[in-house]
Amino acid sequence: MKLCIVGAGAVGGLIGTRLAVSGAKVSALARGQTLAALRAHGWRLKEGDRLLSAPALALSSDARELGPQDLVVIAVKAPVTAALAEAVVPLLGPSTVVLPAMNGVPWWFMPDLESIDPGGSVATTIPLSRVIGCVVHLSAATEAPGLVVHKNGTGLIIGEPDGTSSARLAAVHDLLATAGFSVTSSPAIKREAWYKLWGNLTMNPVSALTGATGDRMLDDPLVRNFCSAAMLEAQAIGARIGCAIEQTPEERHAVTRELGAFKTSMLLDAERGRPIELDPILTVVHELGKRTAVPTPNIDALLGLARLFARSRGLYPAAGSSSLLAPSTGP
């Protein structure tokens, strides 16, 4: 099986290294310092006191040089997905499977979501028929270009978007399991994605706004109650789109509290001056609130504050007012 990692950063580098160490033939579509580091040192991953490494067999900044693959893992930040989609087309053969390992609600979740795929350009270029969904339950960071540090977790939940079983799903499951991941094949991958989002949609933007770690946000009763109110709105949306969540917000907070004094990915991006993934984590929930006629006053307030915060720091595109971002009022 020919594999290509698109976006060999923290998550992509972790997946790529583990696959390469397990014996898979892994190429990478990368650029800049990451590409240079992979060419010089190969795949590298720090696992505690161990350094896992493997040769990088095929590397390029041009997908045409790599050619069609059997599996393409897309592990990039959501803001660059639309620009990247056309670049990966040369990797797509007649039966190529695409595994997006990304934060938030992905383009394949539901058609016509303007907040994550304006005009449907990504869905047109990388159609749903190619996709196996993936929800990432692990944490990693880049210590230097091409050098990934595994923080915690090995969980990957994968599934066909339509909930069916398939030979290609079984093959990807076995491939990832052989590489040491705790893999679950789910018949409800959209619900798994929504459940992960349910916790992230508040913790990520609130942490970026405040600079606070997870424990501090949960220790403040006013902040925790605000997060719970927003989560109840998202829970109501989930019930209307086939992604019902049975937990209470407090039960979800208890899961988050087990992570301790962690920094969210959005806070880390804000601290480093990188664009934040606001649309797939928060704007999309606002959009779905409008689509399902669920009032979202707390989500609206959080989105407005987070968007203003990010725009004032150049971390989110400046834009005029849009009907997409108008307050949700419900029926």
Strand ranges in the chain using DSSP code E only, listed in sequence order: 2-6, 25-29, 43-47, 50-54, 58-60, 69-74, 92-100, 133-144, 147-159, 182-185
Q: Which amino acid is at 60?
A: S
- Please give the helix or strand (H or E) that residue 83 lies within, else none: helix 81-88
Residue 111: burial class (beta carbons within 10 Å; 0-12, 13-18, 19+): exposed
Q: What is the DSSP letter of 154?
A: E
Helix (H, G, I), strand (E, B) or coil at 78: helix
Q: Which one-letter amino acid corresponds to residue 54?
A: A
Number of neighbours of residue 126 by Cβ within 10 angstroms: 25
Clarify whether 190 is annotated catalytic.
no
Kindly name the residue from 46, 190, 196, 290 that is annotated as catalytic.
Answer: 196
State the DSSP code for 131. B
So which residues are the catalytic ones? 196
